[in-house]
Structure 1
Amino acid sequence: MPSRENAEVCVIGGGVIGLLSAYGLAASGVSVVLLDRQQVGAESSWAGGGIVSPLYPWRYSAAVTALAHWSQDFYPHLGEQLLAETGIDPEVYVTGLYWLDLEDEAEALEWARRERRPLRQVDMAAVQQAVPALARGFSRSVQMEDVANVRNPRLVKALRAALLKLPNVTLREQCAVTGFIREAGRVRGVRTAQGDIHADRVVVAAGAWSGELLKGLGIELPVEPVKGQMILYKCAEDFLPSMVLAKGRYAIPRRDGHILVGSTLERAGFDKTPTEPALASLRSSAEALLPALANAEVVGHWAGLRPGSPEGVPFIGPVPQHEGLWLNCGHYRNGLVLAPASCQLLADLLLERAPIIDPAPYAPAGRLR
């Protein structure tokens, strides 16, 4: 006979957004059931690069900027907290980031002045000295020295371990949601093959799959999968001391010498099969940035599905006409960047606390079809 379970909040989706949503709510004393249709963190949260900044922060709206700034300032604390609680280090690694030959460099510098962010022009001779592996031929550079990257698979592992230590959290993996429970016009939980889960609130944090889930309630959520492919090289630990970005492609160093290069932007539905043309394109970009990678070992090539949304602005908050239903999804290319602020904002709204930032730009009201 199928089981029945009760919780104050049911979170659908175990990516970094779902994990951090559950973690923040549970830390406030809320009982939480977290569901994932496979293992937590196995989709976009695992597949991404982990730069703790939008790739081109000045090209985004104030709504994305507000979440990004709060999260960037919070990430070092989050990394230390998770290491202390679980013994797993998410490796929040401050390397800085160089942008090379930007077409909109003047706009970038003006944005930095306005937002008081430490972006500055750097002479190319100084860049070549700091990053000897960088290809010759670039003429201009701007840098932010305080940009970090987080090792996202380790972040997911640490969050999972932290949740398993909390007595008011139930984690259910391999547990796909098949529908919603509605009573008297209110969402009261979800249906799964393993049984019904009743909850006072249901939070949809299912990344690229969020729109598909909500169709069952007649809600048109403009979130769709956008495929991205990456490759991973193994190099010496001191090969690349800083992240570098040119022509839309980036290289990210990990502490142990692994170098991530990404990424493609493809609209291919829910197909996340890695392809040979993408691999060839990524290798070409990698070698144009860092010529020595032509002789480096490629140890991985994979694809993930980003939750594409209009202008990359996530949906955070309650859904009108569906009392009890909440969203924290649609972060597009910036899920890892925006996660701490997005999940703090969700918890603030759900628990009726003063929100960390103005919640209006993210509210589902007026943005759903």
Structure 2
Amino acid sequence: LALRPTSETAIAPMLKLWIRSHVDLPKRIYQVVSTFRYETKATRPLIRVREITTFKETHTCHETFQEAEEQVKAAVKVYSSFFDGLAIPYVISRRPEWDKFAGALYSLAYDTVFPDGRTLQIGTVHNLGQNFSKAFEITFETRDGGREFVWQTCYGISERVVAAVMAVHGDDHGLMLPPSVAPIQAVIVPIPYKGYEEAVNRKAEDLAETLCRAGFMVHVDLREKYTPGAKFYDWELRGVPTRIEIGPKDLEKKTITLVRRDTLERTVAPEGEAVEALAKLLNRIQVDIKGKAEAWLRQNVKRLKGLDEAETIAKTGEPFSILELPWCGRDECGLRLEEKLELRALGTPYPEEKAEGLKCAFCSGEAQSFLRLSRQY
């Protein structure tokens, strides 16, 4: 049995063959792979696994440290846009030295907050410097004819993102998928009464055709063995953002009834304005669920001035997800804060935030930044 190691060691021998000169740089490689972890903690589906089955990662090589830094910024921009599109709130932290990716100069991580208050890492970006290129002798001919080791970065996400979408937006009814990624954005449920079955079903199919032509992803539920109520429950469980109901009264009034999955609020729109009404509703849902998720994260991040305040919060059981404490930057103080509060450090805010005029929560020395601590998956 052969288990694939981390990608940096697997891809380095190939990079050594592919890169000869500065004309080969920058080199950017994207791949989707399985990664195995020696995971000793209890596993959880999607959240903590021994085999990451769909790890999407990028590896880049550059001529200079500055170019690698620009690539890190580009990766942060890409991932921020990605998570914003999923309506997943996040904080970006520079991991502490004792918890960065092995072999990296530094690591940046995206963390979100789950309903139980724990944080989950959902993405990482690493500046590898020349650590791997020196270990594997990945060099290139410079513009002036010399030899130099390449500068590398890497970044990736896994199925944890799927877990985050499910946990952050889901509720007691089931999934709540953001319209931006929902495979079905609207389900049309005919409500037939005796004598109206054919007319109602035909209207539902006509409406679906109209909405599909307008670019929406729509499904008509014509299952005969299920009542409308059972269909409502089924599609709410699946997280379809909107439901459109059509019954005899809608036929008579030439209207449709739209139901939001997130709030179950019902609105009526003229049949001729179905495209505009659905577009407006989906946009509203996307904005609202993102706003709700971000508000939840903000109210659970608490910036404090000292250790006593943090210990009080931890002992009294006051709800929190992330505590931010002034920190001098010394590893010893950071590790002691973890020990005192029985939390784990996420790192310092990125971009950097100075803790001006504040004292380190542990040693009372001059604070350089804020250390984020949380209960983590």
**What's the TM-score once normalised by structure 2's chain length?**
0.23
Higher relative contact order (CA 8 A, sep 6+): 1
